[in-house]
Amino acid sequence: MTLAFGAHVSASGGVDKAFARGEEFSMEAIQIFTKSERQWRAKPLDDDVIDAFFRERKRSGIDKIVVHDSYLINLASPKEVLRAKSIDAFKEELTRCETLSIPSLVTHPGAHTGCGVDVGLQNVVESLNRVHDDLPDLKVRTLLETTAGQGTTLGRTFEELATIVDGVEAKERVKVCLDTCHIFAAGYDFRTEDGYAGMMRQFDEIIGLERLQAIHLNDSKNPLASNKDRHDHIGEGEIGREAFRHLVNDARLEGIPALLETDKGDDNQLDGKNLVTLRGMVA
């Protein structure tokens, strides 16, 4: 056993359609949007679509499912109107996951947009605490995604994510998604065996490996510490194959959803190519 390999797949036509797209390349895990990632609101999930989702989930056997939230959400915003709108949208995302019995919702920690890192991180903490207070019974976990550090985005260091976790009252509801492109662009060099071991040791000491609940598998078009978020195909970017070889053979990560977010090409064939590359690295 190793990571549960998969990719972000389209839910166009209904969330139930995602499973057949995952089956095409024998995925063990999938990531989806349950609504448009470019819009604040969406119509409620139709009962027929919900029923079809559960049927397809059982039929396909793909049971490791992760949702990514809307790119518009900014829980760190210093603007109260925008942050309130983001909190409402985030609660809707969590509720949609709960309806579909999906355990994990990935979110970017947000951007402080000039108010400073410390204030931005505190805004995220307060936003999550408000969400948890408003939705006390939801089982869905929030997965804070590591970021490349572009502009004023938060989450570029393990310490920043740990600050958020430390401040959240319901800590069991907050986990982490590690993006390989993002951490490399943020300055974590894991291309050698020693570098990989050191990076994972830092993650464990600062955040805790038990909080790692999903991984985004992306090479990087830009060099180490570039702070630029541009994904490349596995082994074809600045990170290179050996870094991914260390990761896919790390026994501590067994069963964790490991999801491609790379360009899919015609008919998604590049997903198939990248998955073959990753599976071929497993010892």
Nearest to 219 by CA among 199, 236, 195, 198: 236
- CA distances to 18, 58, 274, 279 from 265, in Å: 17, 28, 11, 19
Q: Do the beta carbons of residue 67 and residue 107 sit within 8 Å?
A: no
Burial of 227 (0-12, 13-18, 19+ CB in 10 A): middle
From the candidates 8, 83, 231, 233, give the one annotated as an active-site residue. Answer: 231
Active site residue 229: yes
Active site residue 71: yes
Q: Alpha-carbon distance 268 to 242, whole Å? A: 25
From the candidates 38, 137, 172, 267, give the one annotated as an active-site residue. Answer: 38
Active site residue 108: yes
From the candidates 112, 141, 156, 182, give the one annotated as an active-site residue. Answer: 182
From the candidates 21, 68, 96, 156, give the one annotated as an active-site residue. Answer: 68
Burial of 64 (0-12, 13-18, 19+ CB in 10 A): buried
From the candidates 141, 216, 233, 245, give the one annotated as an active-site residue. Answer: 216
Active site residue 24: no
Q: Alpha-carbon distance 123 to 217, whole Å? A: 29
Active site residue 231: yes
From the candidates 145, 160, 219, 238, give the one annotated as an active-site residue. Answer: 145
Tokens 């549960």 locate to 4
From the candidates 16, 28, 229, 238, give the one annotated as an active-site residue. Answer: 229
Active site residue 216: yes
For 42, which DSSP code? -
Q: Alpha-carbon distance 167 to 122, whole Å? A: 8
From the candidates 16, 69, 93, 179, give the one annotated as an active-site residue. Answer: 179
Active site residue 233: no
Torsion-angle region of 270 (φ positive above 0: left; ψ -120 to 50: alpha; else: beta)? alpha
Active site residue 232: no
Tokens 């986990």 locate to 175
What are the structure tokens assigned to 142, written together?
């929030």
From the candidates 55, 59, 71, 134, give the one annotated as an active-site residue. Answer: 71
Nearest to 49 by CA among 74, 14, 80: 14
From the candidates 108, 132, 156, 246, give the one annotated as an active-site residue. Answer: 108
Which residues form the catalytic set?
A: 38, 68, 71, 108, 145, 179, 182, 216, 229, 231, 261
